[in-house]
Amino acid sequence: MQSGPLYEATFFVATTSVRNFDDWFKTHVRGVLHEPGIIDCNVLSSATDQDGRGRATCLYEFFDDEALDVFLRDGVEQLDDELAATFEGQVELLGRVLREDPQIDMPADEASICLNCGARLAGQYCGSCGQRSRNRLISLWELISDAFGDLLEIDSRLWQTLIPLLRRPGQLTHDYLQGRRVRYMPPFRMYLVLSLLFFVVAFFDPHEDLGLLFEPAPEPTAEEIAAELAVKQEILEELAEEGIIGSADLPTGVAVNESGLNSSIDEQGAEVGSECDIEASGLEDLPDWLARRLTPERLQRICEQTEIDDGRALLDKLLDNIPAALIILLPLMAMVLKALYPLSKRYYVEHLLFFIHFHAFFFLILSLQILFTRLAALLHVPEVISILTIVATSLYVPVYLFVAMRRVYAQGRLITSIKYIVLVVAYSLGFFTTMLGALAIAAFSI
């Protein structure tokens, strides 16, 4: 029974660092007693865990919840950084918050009951299912606040996740693996939200996707079409006279279709200028299972379809496949990390978590770059400022990956640099392969 909340910090120390840790721990306890908001720091008896590591536990007692929140926001992060800098991954910290439960001895009929699961309530939220204790909405504003609370509240999980995701490489992964998870958005949900945000920002065109809300552009008149075709014909003739193109490449006639598009035709009326000429001889060396799928007729049809619409259908299909390709890339890169850190004693899913956070950051930085570029153009910001900003944020991406590897895996700069180069090469090959696969699937689905 304490007057204020407690924070229980348990330190797991590698055998080779026990002596150095004892000296550091004594100094740390003396320093903590001078921190504002901390009443006492009680050191429990040391022991050894099942892996043979030394273990020391310290209970920090705080004046109130506000002092505890300050420590959780700043003090724990500083403590992690100090341990990483001093012991280089030889000391692991696990912590939890302990509070007095005023209803622990209260009769069940006198305690508030969760209307969802029936558990007794000791605060605004249920400790079993997480539902709010209130059973009705008071106003329309509360309904809106519940819908957009994470966006409107500055201390919500959304902002507590996005800000360290941008500013502190690897911090989310490190905190998640240390057990500090409730304050952040779930990793895969964050990845899906930021990837959706990126594709909406990058490829959503209101005039095309919401065409019903806009008046159609006026159709060109026959005179305008004829004038445009005459200009094209004149340009081709000038290129032929200068020897840039051969006279045989000039069209022998021009036809105008109903949509105002022109097509070059020869005397027989057949369309010319097509570059789709698939030869079966080039496919003879392919494996049998692949040759049955890559038939000349099928490739000819894909080529002609791409040429007819200038590749628009192929591009649309490719954009549809990119999110799935990037999701496939995640476990592949996690396998690379697993191979690069065989002695880290980390599970495969922990390496997967690292790349989920990195891809989420990548989507976020790309979205911010696109939004900044459009806003700069709207506000007539000098082009040189826009270019320098985009270059600076682009250079931040590889630096971010390196710092994140250092923070999460806690190895020296030299060994991390070597593994970083290997990871970047593997990532480039994996990205190229998955994008090539997405392009192939897109081509055979149009």
H/E/C letters for each residue in 157-204? HHHHHHHHHHHCCCHHHHHHHCCCCCCCCCHHHHHHHHHHHHHHHHHC
- 385-422 in b/e form (b: 16+ CB < 10 A) is ebeebeeeeeeeeeebbbbbbbbbbbbeeeebeebbee
Within-domain flag for 51: yes
Within-domain flag for 109: no
Residue at a domain's end among 100, 118, 150? 100
Tokens of 414: 């030299």
How far lies 128's CA from each of 83, 123, 329, 345, 361, in Å?
34, 12, 36, 32, 32
Domain of 358 in residue numbering reads as 168-217+289-446
Alpha-carbon span 246 to 386, nearest angstrom:
43
Alpha-carbon span 163 to 183, nearest angstrom:
12
Same domain assignment for residues 314 and 270: no
What is the DSSP secondary-structure string of 371-417? HHHHHHHHTT--HHHHHHHHHHHHHHHHHHHHHHHHHHH---HHHHH
How far lies 433's CA from each of 71, 234, 328, in Å?
46, 44, 11
Across 14-166, where does the E strand assignment appear?
38-43, 47-48, 54-62, 91-98
pLDDT tens digits, 132-187: 766 555 566 665 666 555 555 555 677 888 889 999 999 999 998 888 888 888 89
Within-domain flag for 133: no
Alpha-carbon span 299 to 295, nearest angstrom:
6
DSSP classification of residue 120: B
Question: Residue 278 burial by CB count (10 A; 0-12/13-18/19+): exposed, middle or buried?
Answer: middle
Same domain assignment for residues 403 and 280: no
pLDDT tens digits, 81-108: 888 888 888 888 888 888 765 555 555 4
Alpha-carbon span 38 to 69, nearest angstrom:
12
Same domain assignment for residues 345 and 226: no
Same domain assignment for residues 206 and 236: no
Residue at a domain's end among 83, 100, 117? 100
Same domain assignment for residues 405 and 440: yes
33: pLDDT strictly greater than 90: no
pLDDT-wise least confident of 136-145, 320-329, 408-417, 421-430: 136-145
Within-domain flag for 107: no
pLDDT tier for residue 235 given thresholds of 50, 70 and 90: confident
Q: What is the pTM of this model?
A: 0.57
Residue at a domain's end among 273, 288, 303? 288
CA-wise closest residue to 282 among 294, 293, 267: 294
Same domain assignment for residues 283 and 297: no
The predicted structure's pLDDT at residue 111: 52
Same domain assignment for residues 277 and 392: no
User: Look-up: residue for tokens 């923070």?
Assistant: 407
DSSP classification of residue 214: S
Alpha-carbon span 117 to 95, nearest angstrom:
28
The predicted structure's pLDDT at residue 150: 57
Same domain assignment for residues 203 and 227: no
Judge contact between 376 and 385, C-beta under 8 A. Answer: yes
pLDDT tier for residue 225 given thresholds of 50, 70 and 90: confident
Widest pairwise Cα distance in the chain = 100
Alpha-carbon span 318 to 312, nearest angstrom:
10
Same domain assignment for residues 27 and 1: yes
Residue 244 neighbours by CB distance under 10 Å:
10
pLDDT-wise least confident of 235-249, 274-288, 420-434: 274-288
CA-wise closest residue to 443 among 286, 307, 263, 273: 307
Within-domain flag for 113: no
Average pLDDT score over residue span 200-225: 70
Q: Which helix (H) or strand (E) holds 304?
A: helix 296-308
Alpha-carbon span 91 to 48, nearest angstrom:
13
Question: Collapsing DSSP states into helix, strand and coil, what is residue 11?
Answer: strand
Judge contact between 21 and 101, C-beta under 8 A. Answer: no
Within-domain flag for 120: no
Please provide the distance, in angstroms rounded to a whole number, between the alpha carbons at the two ends of the chain. Answer: 69
Same domain assignment for residues 202 and 300: yes
State the total domains in the chain.
3
The predicted structure's pLDDT at residue 254: 47
Same domain assignment for residues 192 and 249: no
Same domain assignment for residues 425 and 313: yes
The predicted structure's pLDDT at residue 301: 74
pLDDT-wise least confident of 20-34, 270-284, 393-407: 270-284
Average pLDDT score over residue span 107-114: 58
